Amino acid sequence: MTVVLDTNALMMPVECDVRVFDELDRLLGPVDALDLAVPRAVVAELDALADGSSEEAVAARVGSDLAERCRVIDTGATYADDAVVEAADPDGYVVTNDRPLRDRLLERGVRVIGLRGKDKLDIQEP
């Protein structure tokens, strides 16, 4: 099963104190059995945000490290949100905390995993 991760999903460990892979394991079963995928545009966005010493830059560097545990996929889109929508598999999931992106995905029939409460993820069905 394919699980596409958005930029902010990969930054959640620093920004929201969410252990993303542990939460995916809790919700979907062993992470090693999942096809974790990150669009190349998301990797580029993380790289662009990673300069400096701000919390956002630190979160982006952590996100880049987490992205290395995922399969990088090419899409026709250069904007990260559009790339996530293009990469989304209706039989899989997308992890994002971006409300407009979540709404776009749900409208397309894609299940979304997003933040519930302070440090837990939950599945949102279309």
pLDDT in single tens digits along all 126 residues of the chain: 999 999 999 999 999 999 999 999 999 999 999 999 999 999 999 999 999 889 999 999 999 999 999 999 999 999 999 999 999 999 999 999 999 999 999 999 999 999 998 889 999 999
Q: Looking at residue 73, what is its pLDDT?
A: 97
Q: What is the residue extent of each domain of the chain? A: 2-124
Coil, helix or strand at residue 26: helix
Provide the b/e sequence for 11-32 (b: ≥16 CB within 10 Å): bbbbbbebebbebbeeebeebe
Phi-psi region of 66 (alpha: psi -120 to 50; beta: other; left: phi over 0): alpha
Q: Domain 2-124 - what CATH class?
A: alpha beta
Could you tell me the CA-to-CA distances from 35 to 50, 52, 53, 119 in Å, in that order? 25, 31, 32, 23
Query: What does DSSP say about strands 93-95 and 120-124: parallel, antiparallel, or unpaired?
Result: unpaired
Q: Looking at residue 20, what is its pLDDT?
A: 96
Phi-psi region of 36 (alpha: psi -120 to 50; beta: other; left: phi over 0): beta
